[in-house]
């Protein structure tokens, strides 16, 4: 079945450091890939997405490229800020029995220190 594996956390970085959160997936067909972010006490917000191989999603300085050959969708940011502290979820989307189902990774808690 479909699955997503994320780099285990927690991850702690200093402000302005480079960030990479690894994400790999297993899926049949051609799923869409997403990164969601969850700030404390809130629901999930879509951060970025990619719908086909070699697509690059980007938003708020974050980027991720859909790599079919390595089945990966790693999240990167060149210079993180304290406000980026949150839990990040990688997810894939597939249609099963007519339903769009998201399969999530376990999440990576990111803490940025000033």
Partner 1 sequence: NAGVMQNPRHLVRRRGQEARLRCSPMKGHSHVYWYRQLPEEGLKFMVYLQKENIIDESGMPKERFSAEFPKEGPSILRIQQVVRGDSAAYFCASSPRDSSYNSPLHFGNGTRLTVT
Binding site for partner 1 (CB under 8 A): 4, 31-32, 34, 36, 41-46, 49, 51, 89, 93-107
Q: Is the separation of the CB atoms in 57 and 77 below 8 Å?
A: no
Q: 63 by DSSP, 3-state: which? A: strand
Side-chain half-sphere CA neighbours of 90 within 13 A = 31
Least CB distance to partner 1 at residue 18 (A): 25
Of 114, 83, 112, 92, nearest to 6 by C-alpha is: 92
Of 17 and 65, CB closest to partner 1: 65
Of 46 and 82, which has the nearer Cβ to partner 1?
46
- Supply the minimum distance, in Å, between the C-beta of residue 15 and partner 1: 25
Cα separation, 21 vs 6, in Å, equals 7
User: Closest distance between partner 1 and the C-beta of residue 79, in Å?
Assistant: 26
Judged by beta carbon, residue 26 or residue 79, the one nearer partner 1 is 26
């Amino acid at each position: 079945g479909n699955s997503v594996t994320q780099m285990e956390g927690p991850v702690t970085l200093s402000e302005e450091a480079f960030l990479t959160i690894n994400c790999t997936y297993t899926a049949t067909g051609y799923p869409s890939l997403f990164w969601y972010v969850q700030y404390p006490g809130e629901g999930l917000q879509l951060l970025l997405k990619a719908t086909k191989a070699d697509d690059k999603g980007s938003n708020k300085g974050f980027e991720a490229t859909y790599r079919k050959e390595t089945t990966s969708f790693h999240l990167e940011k060149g210079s993180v800020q304290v406000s980026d502290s949150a839990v990040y979820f990688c997810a894939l989307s597939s249609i099963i029995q007519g339903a769009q189902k998201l399969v999530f990774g376990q999440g990576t808690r990111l803490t940025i220190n000033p």
